[in-house]
C-alpha cells in the first residue's frame, strides 16, 4: 500500500512504513505501540508525523501517547484515517463467531480484501489471521492517557464508510490541545486505495506542517 507514497510525496518527505510481524504475541495494543516505538527510536529524533489508517490509526495514537508519557519528542502532527477514538465503541464488531469464509466476505464488502486474493488460499488465510489478531488487539484499547496531546490531529475518512462516521472522526478533537480538522474524501472505509485524491490533500498539509518546524 505504501510503496507509491515516497514517489507521491518526495523528495521532501521520507515515508517509512512500519511492519510488525507476529502481532499475535502482543496482549494489548499498547504493547504493540511500544514495539513500534523501539523500531523507530533512531528515526524519531528529527521532525516527523505519524500516519495511521483504521487499526493503524489507533497504533499511531497510542505511540504518541506513549512518547508523551515518556517525555520523548512528539510528532509534529497525528494524521488519523478511518478510525474512531478509543472512548467510542470499536467500529468493527467482535468477529469470533464468524468463520474464515464469512470474515473474508465481510472484509471484501468493505474493500479491505482484494477479490483476486482468493486465487492464493495460503495468502488469503494469512490475511484473515492477521485481521483477527488486529481486531482482538482493538478490543484491548483501554486508553490510559487522560491528558490531550499537545500536537495537532488531522482526521480523515471516506464519505461512504459504513464503520466510521464523520461525527466519529470529530470525536478526535477531544484528544488534542492544538489544531484539529476533519477531511472527508470519496469512498468507503478503504478510500485510500484510490491514492491521488488523498495525496492532493496530504501534500499541502505536510508542507504547512513542515513550515512550522523550527529551523
Rounded distance between C-alpha atoms, residue 5 and residue 39, angstroms: 20
d(CA 162, CA 186): 13
What is the reported pTM?
Answer: 0.89
Average of per-residue pLDDT values in the chain: 87
Q: Does the structure show a pLDDT above 70 at 93?
A: no
- Whether 158 is covered by a domain: the verdict is yes
Average pLDDT of span 148-166: 95
- Kindly state whether residue 163 falls inside one of the protein's structural domains: yes
pLDDT tens per residue, range 107-138: 777 777 777 777 788 888 888 888 888 888 88
| Full residue range of the structural domain in which residue 59 is found | 5-91+143-209
Q: How confident is the model at residue 144 (pLDDT cuts 50, 70, 90)?
A: low
In a domain, 122, yes or no: no
Percentage of residues in the chain with pLDDT exceeding 90? Answer: 50
Tens-place pLDDT, residues 45-91: 899 999 999 989 999 999 999 999 999 999 999 999 999 998 888 77
We report the CATH number of the domain holding residue 200 as 3.40.50.1820
For 166-170, which contacts have Cβ atoms below 8 Å and span 24 or more sequence positions? 168/84, 168/85, 168/88, 168/91, 169/84
Establish if 124 belongs to a structural domain.
Answer: no
What's the domain count of the chain? 1
Q: How far is CA 115 from the centre of its chain?
A: 23
Q: Report the pLDDT value the prediction gives residue 94, as an integer from 0 to 100.
A: 62
Q: Give the pLDDT score at 41.
A: 86
User: Cα(153)–Cα(158) distance, rounded to whole angstroms?
Assistant: 17
- Candidates 89, 86, 96, 100; CA nearest to 52 is 86
Amino acid at each position: 500500500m505504501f510503496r507509491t507514497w515516497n514517489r507521491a510525496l518526495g523528495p521532501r518527505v521520507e515515508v517509512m512504513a512500519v511492519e510488525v510481524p507476529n502481532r499475535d504475541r502482543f496482549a494489548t495494543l499498547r504493547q504493540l505501540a511500544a514495539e513500534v516505538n523501539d523500531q523507530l527510536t533512531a528515526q524519531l529524533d528529527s521532525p516527523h508525523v505519524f500516519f495511521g489508517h483504521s487499526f493503524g490509526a489507533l497504533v499511531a495514537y497510542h505511540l504518541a501517547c506513549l512518547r508523551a508519557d515518556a517525555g520523548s519528542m512528539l510528532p509534529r502532527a497525528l494524521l488519523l484515517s478511518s478510525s474512531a477514538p478509543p472512548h467510542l465503541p470499536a467500529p468493527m464488531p467482535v468477529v469470533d463467531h464468524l468463520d474464515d469464509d464469512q470474515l473474508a466476505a465481510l472484509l471484501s464488502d468493505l474493500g479491505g480484501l482484494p477479490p483476486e486474493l482468493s486465487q492464493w488460499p495460503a495468502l488469503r488465510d494469512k490475511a484473515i489471521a492477521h485481521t483477527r489478531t488486529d481486531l482482538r488487539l482493538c478490543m484491548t484499547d483501554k486508553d490510559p492517557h487522560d491528558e490531550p496531546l499537545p500536537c495537532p490531529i488531522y482526521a480523515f475518512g471516506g464519505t461512504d464508510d459504513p464503520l466510521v462516521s464523520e461525527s466519529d472522526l470529530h470525536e478526535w478533537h477531544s484528544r488534542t490541545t492544538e489544531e484539529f480538522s476533519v477531511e472527508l474524501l470519496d469512498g468507503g472505509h478503504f478510500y485510500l486505495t484510490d491514492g491521488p485524491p488523498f495525496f492532493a490533500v496530504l501534500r499541502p498539509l505536510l508542507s504547512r506542517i513542515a513550515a512550522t518546524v523550527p529551523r
